Amino acid sequence: MPLDESFTGRVYPPQTSYEVSREKIREFADAIGDANPAYRDPEAARAAGHPDVIAPPTFITIVNLAAINAIVTDPELGLDYSRMVHGDQQFTYSRPVRVGDRLLLTTHIDKIMTRAGNDFINLRAEIADGDGEHIATTRAQLVVRGEDA
């Protein structure tokens, strides 16, 4: 069953916030094997021009994935999760995520289309801190393989 194209243009406001801590940044940096001292040491981060420890660029995947999953599991959308693959992911930053940020995501369905029997859904998340300052924009394209694929 094709995706419901009427979902194009829907906006999902923040449902929760995510508090960024030194420990979460360290755990993420360890998990991806990145030894950059700016991800662990406040002095190293300040020497690099940041007010405190910063997170690796892909750290926001933690909160972005939860927002994407809330959309794709909506039964009205008609997405068969077992047939979904991740087609593309982009991150555009206004500034790095840093210790103390309270991340808020507003997620958008920018486009739904069908090509060669496969459905494509383009999602965008605008990520801001608790004061409303823009931190990053993420874009993801998900592909739902057709029945014959």
For 66-86, letters b (16+ CB in 10 Å) and e give ebbeebbeeeebebeeeeeee
Residue ranges per structural domain of the chain: 5-145
**At 94, is the pLDDT very low, low, confident or very high (cuts 50, 70, 90)?**
very high
CATH 3.90.1640.30 for domain 5-145: no
Q: What CA–CA distance (Å, rounded) separates 134 from 94?
A: 6
Q: Give pTM, 2 decimals.
A: 0.89
pLDDT at 149 over 60: no
Mean pLDDT (the chain, rounded): 93
pLDDT tens digits for range 17-58? 999 999 999 999 999 999 999 999 999 999 999 999 999 999
**At 119, is the pLDDT very low, low, confident or very high (cuts 50, 70, 90)?**
very high
